[in-house]
Amino acid sequence: MSLEKRDHAVLWHPFTQYGTEDDLIAVERAEGVWLFTRDGKKFMDVNGSWWVNIHGHCHPYITQLLNNQLQKLHHVIFAGVTHEPAVKLGELLTERAPEGLKRVFYSDNGSTAVEVALKMAIQYFFNRGEKRKRFLAFEGAYHGDTFGAMSVGQRGGFNVPFETLFFEVDFLPLPNEENLHEVMKSLRKLLAAHQYAGFVYEPLIQGAAGMRMYNVGHLDLVLSAMREHGALLIADEVFTGFGRTGAWFASQHCVASPDLMCLSKGLTAGVLPLGVTMSTESIFNTFVDNDKARAFLHGHSFTANPLACTAAIASIQLLDRQECWQSIRMISAAHQSFIEEAYIKEVKKEAVISQAAAMGTVLRLELQTNERSGYYNSTRSMTYAWFMKKGLLIRPLGNILYVNPPYCISREELETVYMAIREYLIIHSQSHRTSL
């Protein structure tokens, strides 16, 4: 029986509608930006394997460090015990993180990194005897799939069946040149009405909302109002961390440094699951006491898994190399010149796409359709299938086509992607026109 058939008999895949979904591809091995299937095909991983893969697949340096670690220690309880990989990773992170983030708390994925930040924020005020537990977030936010993370996420999207169980959160529209005045007015109104514990945000790019990019100056205005209000700034850098936006962390483009920061995805270069919540020393200190109940009584079985920490150490050491930042700059510049091409400007004028934007290593094209723009837009399946036929794994978010490659992609490989996109835009413009 084929692997696909055996899969269909027993597995239940994430974010998958079995009633309509495309065929599975069975990947056997991978190297760099390439995925190789059992039946001898290859696909370029333009999606970075759900945004986690930053150095390419099976990087020999990560493999080597993991091999060494496998001989020494696989896993151990992390309460009352410590080990070299956990401490070393903590040191590497605190040296590179935005100013003031001096404590590292481990969990095992992006959702739990957010969950931990929310709980830390609530208990921070609880321990200080202050009544603050309300959160503010941006419309369109995605912070993960556990209940706390879902609660601070966009309503009416992925989570409709669960919404009545969420805690109350206020949402602010994402600021832009047109609405900035209105957004700041709404913010002032909300701040007068409530005492917020924290503001949760994906700095500069809202990933799952469709790679929505927004202005750092606008974000700074919101952050400075929240800080003045006394709320904690909780930066969810699960997607934007580790070079995606052209800096180590997107928060480093901002004036205000966050009080709490959530990391996962690129943290281990996509090799093993690991989550991190970083906090300031002053938050940490409110948990230090003789009273056990004031401690942060939260932990996961696989906290600080030594293998996962080792993969993260290797990934950070690769990011420390000059050539990695040269690649990041090469990709950013290539994306930028792509969106400035006469051809892209032309298709934009002809309403084939409504937006072309780039930030760091992320390129975003919003296809114009006669349906609502967003995750449920039906052009997705045609777009996905077309690029798969070309050997490119591009997983659009509805009508949002994006490129988010591992940093090891070459200029030539990037050009293959752009060529395919140019070709697809012609096809899309024809099908879009006939459907009008």
User: In 3D, which of 243, 240, 238, 317 has the Cα closest to residue 59?
Assistant: 317
> Shortest gap between Cβ of 285 and ligand PLP (angstroms)?
27
Query: One symbol per residue from 13 to 52: x for binding ligand PLP (CB under 6 A), - otherwise; what is it?
Result: ----------------------------------------
402 binds ligand PLP (CB under 6 A): no
Q: Are 409 and 331 in contact (CB under 8 A)?
A: yes
> Shortest gap between Cβ of 207 and ligand PLP (angstroms)?
4
| Sequence-distant (≥ 6) Cβ neighbours of residue 203 within 8 angstroms | 219, 235, 236, 237, 240, 245, 249, 250, 251, 253, 254
Chain centroid offset of residue 259 CA: 19
What is d(CA 224, CA 169) in angstroms, rounded to the nearest whole number?
20
Question: Cβ closer to ligand PLP: 127 or 303?
Answer: 303
Question: Cβ closer to ligand PLP: 252 or 286?
Answer: 252
| Degrees to nearest 5, angle at CA 378 with 375 and 381 | 95
Question: Cβ closer to ligand PLP: 36 or 166?
Answer: 166
> Shortest gap between Cβ of 62 and ligand PLP (angstroms)?
19
Identity at 255, one-letter amino acid code:
V
C-beta pairs of 347-352 under 8 Å, 24+ apart in sequence: 347/425, 347/429, 350/429, 352/425, 352/428, 352/429, 352/432
Provide the terminal-to-terminal Cα distance of the chain, rounded to the nearest Å: 44
Question: Cβ closer to ligand PLP: 83 or 398?
Answer: 398
What is d(CA 95, CA 390) in angstroms, rounded to the nearest whole number?
42
210 binds ligand PLP (CB under 6 A): no
Q: Edge-to-edge, what's the strand order for the sheet holding 232-236?
A: 101-107, 275-280, 260-263, 232-236, 196-201, 134-138, 169-172
What is d(CA 201, CA 308) in angstroms, rounded to the nearest whole number?
26
Question: Cβ closer to ligand PLP: 32 or 207?
Answer: 207
368 binds ligand PLP (CB under 6 A): no
Count residues binding ligand PLP (CB under 6 A).
Answer: 15
> Shortest gap between Cβ of 93 and ligand PLP (angstroms)?
17
Question: Cβ closer to ligand PLP: 266 or 425?
Answer: 266
Q: What tokens does 221 get?
A: 């205005």
Which part of the chain contacts ligand PLP (CB under 6 A), choosing from 66-74, 157-165, 235-243, 343-351? 235-243
State which H helix or E strand residue 323 sits in. helix 322-339
Q: Which single residue is written with the structure tokens 């051809």?
A: 343
Q: Are 348 and 381 in contact (CB under 8 A)?
A: no
In this structure, how many other beta carbons lie within 10 angstroms of the beta carbon of residue 170? 16
264 binds ligand PLP (CB under 6 A): yes
Query: One symbol per residue from 136 to 165: x for binding ligand PLP (CB under 6 A), - otherwise; what is it?
Result: ------xxx---------------------
Given candidates 109, 245, 257, 361, which one binds ligand PLP under the rule CB under 6 A? 109
Identity at 102, one-letter amino acid code:
K
111 binds ligand PLP (CB under 6 A): yes
* Nearest residue to the partner ligand PLP, using Cβ: 110
Given candidates 54, 62, 97, 114, which one binds ligand PLP under the rule CB under 6 A? 114
Question: Cβ closer to ligand PLP: 239 or 402?
Answer: 239
Binding site residues, ligand PLP, CB under 6 A: 109-111, 114, 142-144, 202, 207-208, 236, 238-239, 264-265
